[in-house]
Amino acid sequence: MFSPEAVALAKECGLVMGRANLEEFAATLEALARADRNVLAVTSDSRGSGKLAPYGKALPEQIVEVGIAEQNLVGVAAGLASCGKKVFAVSPACFLTARSLEQIKNDVAYSDNPVTLVGISAGVSYGALGTTHHSLHDFAVLRAINNLVVVAPADNAETAFAVRAAAALGKPVYLRFGKAAVYSLPGDKDLALGRARLVRPGSDLAFIASGETVAHAHLAAEKLARTHGLQARVLSLHSIKPLDSAAVLAAARECRAVITVEEHLVNGGLGEACAALIAQSGARCRLHIAGIPDEPTVSGSQADIFRHYGLTMEGLHAAALKLLA
């Protein structure tokens, strides 16, 4: 995922590599489930890919398998949740948020059943498997559904927080996890749903990023400081919805330029959400939406795809200089 130069810079900055957010999710869920018998995982032949095999062994009464049937996964999860269960419906994000979108809309969000939908191996985590296995639409479609919190954690701390917050919230939630190991990021330790996490202060420009792209944005900010003396603010917008409009608008007002970064199509995702907010506020700043363009996605690994579309440290560094030029 990271170039040798990025890895070296991360080391210089003291960043420590954590585990995959997916693994952090599974460990956190198991801890929650051990303490509360009403916590359930529902899987669609996805306990292996969801890192839930140990959970399933330890708590066989608290995992429900529905087979390869994502519509049924979400419907069953809604029925369980309506009876007081704290349900985590776990399935690859590509299938969960497309095949079962109507179940998400009606059975979870509209019926207000407190299901936590867990989209695993999201974005282009399954890079080389091709477009069938990519979820580059999920922010866009889920943002357009009322009564659904959408969260894409950047690191293990955000992941553990998000899993616990979702279980406690008692409302429909979508959590989006990648499967690559991620750096543990500096910045705010006190996290809240709907509130951006300030990873790095700065006011020359701002990176507003989410999920696994935040670490790349953070390294780009470090590189900009070293190469050009520019101080870039880095915000982790783990909550895509509700969006922290105050933090986004503060960035737009206080910085000369804003770059949004997401492992998602540029259509309808974090960038367009921020752009709509900024445009309607009257704030004026240069804006670039970094993401996957609306074209047949290049083939290759997640790292290849990030590099191809400029979502790495190097690409974001270059985009920042171009935007400020």
Check residue 78 for interaction with another protein (CB under 8 A). Answer: yes
Choose the stretch contacting another protein; rule: CB under 8 A; options: 110-118, 183-191, 207-215, 222-230: 110-118
Of 103, 156, 236, 239, the residue at the interface with another protein (CB under 8 A) is 103
Binding mask 23-62 for another protein (x = CB under 8 A): --------------------------------------x-
Of 4, 14, 60, 84, the residue at the interface with another protein (CB under 8 A) is 84
Concatenate the DSSP letters of all residues of 195-224 into one string.
Answer: --EEEE--SSEEEEE-TTHHHHHHHHHHHH
Check residue 171 for interaction with another protein (CB under 8 A). Answer: no
Phi, psi of 240 (to 5 degrees): -75, -35
Which residue type is seen at 245?
Answer: S
DSSP element (H, E) containing 40: strand 39-43
Which residue type is seen at 271?
Answer: G
Choose the stretch contacting another protein; rule: CB under 8 A; options: 12-20, 76-84, 284-292, 293-301: 76-84
Choose the stretch contacting another protein; rule: CB under 8 A; options: 102-110, 117-125, 177-185, 193-201: 102-110
Choose the stretch contacting another protein; rule: CB under 8 A; options: 67-75, 171-179, 228-236, 237-245: 67-75
Interactions with another protein, residue window 113-142 (CB under 8 A) = 113
CB 268 to another protein: min, Å: 22
Counting residues that bind another protein (by CB under 8 A) gives 27
Contact between 236 and 185 under an 8 Å Cβ cutoff? The reply is yes
CB 112 to another protein: min, Å: 7
Check residue 231 for interaction with another protein (CB under 8 A). Answer: no
Q: Which residues of 241-275 are buried (b: 16+ CB within 10 A; e: fewer)?
A: bebbbebbbbbbeebebbbbbbbbbbbbbbbbbbb
CB 74 to another protein: min, Å: 8
Residue closer to another protein, measured from CB, 43 or 213: 43
Of 50, 75, 202, 211, the residue at the interface with another protein (CB under 8 A) is 75
Residue closer to another protein, measured from CB, 71 or 267: 71
Q: What are 6's two structure tokens?
A: 């990025």
Residue closer to another protein, measured from CB, 4 or 146: 146
Q: Is the dihedral of CA 71, 305, 205, 236 positive or negative?
A: positive
Q: Which residues of 155-176 are buried (b: 16+ CB within 10 A; e: fewer)?
A: bbbbbbbbbebbbeeebbbbbb
Check residue 111 for interaction with another protein (CB under 8 A). Answer: yes
DSSP element (H, E) containing 258: strand 257-265
Of 71, 184, 267, 301, the residue at the interface with another protein (CB under 8 A) is 71
Of 3, 13, 23, 72, the residue at the interface with another protein (CB under 8 A) is 72
List the Cα angle 149/183/240 in 5-degree steps.
15
DSSP element (H, E) containing 272: helix 270-281
- C-alpha–C-alpha distance, residues 134 and 123, integer Å: 5
Residue closer to another protein, measured from CB, 83 or 325: 83
Choose the stretch contacting another protein; rule: CB under 8 A; options: 15-23, 81-89, 202-210, 218-226: 81-89
Contact between 185 and 237 under an 8 Å Cβ cutoff? The reply is no
For β-strands 205-209 and 257-265, DSSP reports them as parallel
Name the site residues for another protein (rule: CB under 8 A).
61, 64, 66-67, 69, 71-72, 74-85, 102-103, 106-107, 110-113
